[in-house]
Amino acid sequence: MIDYIRENLSYYPLYYNLLFKNKKEITPEHVDFGSDKEQYFLYFEPAKPVSDKIVVWIHGGGWNAGNPKQFNYVGQAMAKAGYRFVSLGYRLSTKYKYPAQIEDVCKGYNAAMKFLQDKGIDTSKVIVSGPSAGAHLSSILCYSNMVQALYKVDVSNVIGYVGFGGPYSFRKDSTRTMKALVSMLFPKGYDRLGGEPWSLMSESNIPMLLIHSRHDGIVVFGCAEDFAEKAKTVGNKCEIYEVEDKRNTHSWYTAGIFFLNRDENKTLDRFLRFIEET
């Protein structure tokens, strides 16, 4: 209950940062990959690239909110850090039910890789990442052979995965908020195991970093533990990083950290170190 209250109180400072501290110094390229308004991605080209690695980010928002433009500040922060960055959108619930979201993520990923290759950019080293609902979708993209085959997406160029606060398993002890969001995501009668990362995980050589807080008021820490245990069972390399920062609510460590710098936030530093070391 305390974590839920802290979660609600964390939204105002985030909103304040969005309004007054979101400086748009880099103009991203907008690329549509479908006819729906949410089927697009933004590409951020850094002024001075520090690496040949590309970060693909799939936004959160409970599957029913958010888009790459809303999370422009994440792309700004990553491009300023010197990384080529793709922020990928998808159709939202409740208008569009699952699997529309993962279909778009796979289609958008393919479109983004072609877009970069047409620019002459090396796409052999990709880090896929996402927070919350985006962690759910991005983990399926990376670790479900069934989904990869179904939507004809090749992730052999993915060298690492980072998920922030992801609902990787639909646990019985999930919060009321998460249970409601999951109910809105799936159509009536749909076998939810067909959209659960834990159930869909296949053997993979993509190392994963699961960033999670025990004080998350939306997604329980057990989701990360479940996914890590499944990874161990199938032979996938996995690390759980437990958020130590005081700003450890779901909203702050999955999104708000990009308003900070790595010197003042251990979670952001761990994310960037994973990219650097992978």
Domain containing residue 113: 2-277
Q: Give the ranges where 144-207 is alpha helix by DSSP (H).
A: 145-150, 176-185, 197-200
Give the single-character DSSP code of 187. Answer: P
Predicted TM-score of the model (pTM): 0.94
Length of the chain counted residue by residue: 278
Beta carbons within 10 angstroms of residue 233's beta carbon? 10
Q: Structural domain tally of the chain?
A: 1
243-252 average pLDDT score: 93
Backbone angles phi, psi at 35, to 5 degrees: -85, -20
- 66-125 pLDDT, tens digit per residue, is 999 999 999 999 999 999 999 999 999 999 999 999 999 999 999 999 999 999 999 999
Q: What is the CATH number of the domain that holds 122?
A: 3.40.50.1820
The answer, yes or no, to whether residue 154 has pLDDT greater than 60, is yes
Least confident of 13-22, 34-43, 183-192, 199-208: 13-22
- E strand spans, 53-135: 54-58, 84-88, 126-131
> Pick from 149, 167, 113, 162: which is nearest to 277 by CA?
162
| pLDDT on residue 24 | 79
Q: What is d(CA 199, CA 272) in angstroms, rounded to the nearest whole number?
A: 29
Omega prior to 187 cis, within 30 of 0: no
- 33-59 pLDDT, tens digit per residue, is 999 999 999 999 999 999 999 999 999
Contact present, 231 and 209 (Cβ < 8 Å): no
Q: What is d(CA 199, CA 229) in angstroms, rounded to the nearest whole number?
A: 12
16: confidence class by pLDDT, cuts 50, 70, 90: low
The answer, yes or no, to whether residue 10 has pLDDT greater than 70, is no
